[in-house]
Amino acid sequence: MTFEELNINKPLLNALNDLGFTHPTTIQHKVFSVTMSGKDVCGIAQTGTGKTFAYLLPSLRQLQYSKDRLPQLIILVPTRELVVQVIEEVEKLSKYLTLQVVGIYGGGNIKVQMAELKSGADIIVATPGRLIDMAMNGTLKTKAVKKLIIDEVDEMLNLGFRHQLNMLLDLLPPKRQNLLFSATLTAEVEALMKVHFNDPVKVEAAPTGTPLSNIDQRLYKVPNFYTKVNLLDQLLEDESLSRVIIFTATKKLADQLFGQLEVSQLGKVGVIHSNKAQNNRFQTVAAFQDGTYRLLIATDIIARGLDIAEVSHVINFDIPETPENYIHRIGRTGRADQMGTAISFVSEKDQEYVEEIEALMKYEIPETSLPEGLKISEILTADEEPKVHMKNIVVKRPKMEDVGPAFHEKKAKNQKVNVRRDYNAEKAQKYGRPIKRSGKK
């Protein structure tokens, strides 16, 4: 099956041709005709198998020229980086079409985005929060919307986004087509989808959770942070780790790890998480994309959707707590039929998460033994130190009758006048020699 054989029009075919793409991927091929029929679609396919074009091709095919330039198609994604990426994909495919696409996302200048939206947009790519702002301030006109695409739909129906998503769904014309995509789908989300959408036709390239065979997975059992750092240093001596994303559990750990690698990987390592300014986030991804950075330390904020070419390795410095995120994280490598390697560091407390991940994939991640000469660190970080539980001491409040009147004479000890004490002299007297506190290092 080639793109020519799908019912794609000339401008799209020419654009695909310019990209050098002749054959649709399984999901692109399967989704096309169902989408053209107008039904709601839920497309499930593994990471890096072309879901973006799977929803863009039929959607752009059906887009109608309108001179009032009101949005006909809204694409929702969970992160700002994905907004930018999907816009780039729309632009690639619409090289021979005249259409306007606008990105609406938090952290960007709202005035600029409002002006862009007002000057006309056929397609909007957005994160939910900022799009709601645009509806509230009257800039977003929804009456011409015919299609809604939700990428990473399971994430978008998760608790973090659910409320915003519900608000948006209420703002859109009820008579519209919904296209929902992800590499993973939980039973809970599938049930929610039945409530919110019009009985979507499920189109699967592979069942949810199927690992990609072109990603080589392995794990190391590593006891603690500093030993993980030592192992990472040792692994990084191998040049074949040429473009590596390293995922940590939290922003704090991302920054801590950055502190450890900054010196040995001078100028070659970037860090991205949600506390970074948006400009910095975009610059960091760009520097990783163009090869300035060899390493990108990240939280799950970039676990989903990002299509960065030739990521050689994904390293889970910490194991993700939701098994689906493991699938998305390792899916940053081995995209579009390339080979990739995913390495996970597993500490004792992570073992149960590994079991959940393996159950989801129906695959046991092979264990590699720690390399010879690896320095096992005994030092623990403050967070790794066992927590001391202090007894909660309840301070008794004085009974009211003990307190006395509000205005009263100072008690004798409070009438003392402050006298400057010479502690060194006092100590010298006590110890029979001058004692000085050593200054701070």
Compare residues 93 and 229 and give the one whose CB is closer to ligand CDP.
Answer: 93
Is 1 a residue that touches ligand CDP (CB under 6 A)?
no
Stretch that binds Mg ion, among 49-57, 109-117, 171-179, 406-414 (CB under 5 A): 49-57
Task: Beginning with the edge strand found earlier in the chain, give each strand of the sheet holding 244-247 in spatial order.
Answer: 215-221, 340-346, 313-316, 244-247, 295-298, 269-272
CA distance linking residue 76 with residue 104, whole number of Å: 10
Closest approach of ligand CDP to the CB of residue 323, in Å? 18
Site for ligand CDP contains 50 (CB under 6 A): yes
Under the criterion CB under 6 A, does residue 307 sit at the interface with ligand CDP?
A: yes
- Say whether residue 51 binds ligand CDP (CB under 6 A): yes
Size of the site for Mg ion (CB under 5 A): 2
Cα distances (Å, whole numbers) of residue 336 to 153, 244, 290, 379? 21, 17, 19, 42
Comparing C-alpha atoms, which of 273, 266, 277, 332 is closest to residue 299? Answer: 273
Q: Which of 6, 8, 12, 21 binds ligand CDP (CB under 6 A)?
A: 21
Each as own residue / partner, the long-range contacts of residues 173-177 (CB below 8 Å, 24 or more positions apart, any chain) are: 173/142, 173/143, 173/145, 173/146, 176/145, 176/146, 176/147, 176/148, 177/35, 177/38, 177/39, 177/40, 177/146, 177/147, 177/148
Q: In whole angstroms, what is the distance from residue 400 CA to residue 75 CA? A: 64
The separation between CA 295 and the C-alpha centre of its own chain, rounded to angstroms, equals: 16
- Alpha carbon 34 to chain centroid distance? 30
Q: How remote is the C-alpha of 205 from its chain's centroid?
A: 24
Which residue do the tokens 């036709």 mark?
A: 201
Of 336, 339, 380, 425, the one binding ligand CDP by CB under 6 A = 336
Q: Does 43 bind Mg ion (CB under 5 A)?
A: no
Of 185 and 254, which CB lies nearer to ligand CDP in the complex structure?
A: 185
Does 29 participate in binding Mg ion (rule CB under 5 A)?
Answer: no
- Compare residues 1 and 191 and give the one whose CB is closer to ligand CDP: 1
Cα(267)–Cα(262) distance, rounded to whole angstroms?
Answer: 7
Task: Indicate which of ligand CDP, Mg ion, none lies near residue 71 (CB less than 5 to 8 Å, by partner kind).
Answer: none
- Name which position in 48, 71, 108, 305 contacts Mg ion (CB under 5 A): 305
Q: For residues 234-253, which are near Mg ion according to CB under 5 A?
A: none
CB nearer Mg ion, residue 191 or residue 336: 336
Number of residues that bind ligand CDP (CB under 6 A): 16
Residue 81 near ligand CDP by CB under 6 A: no
**Which residue, 48 or 320, is less far from Mg ion as judged by CB?**
48
- What residue ranges bind ligand CDP (CB under 6 A)? 21, 23-25, 28, 45, 47-53, 307, 335-336
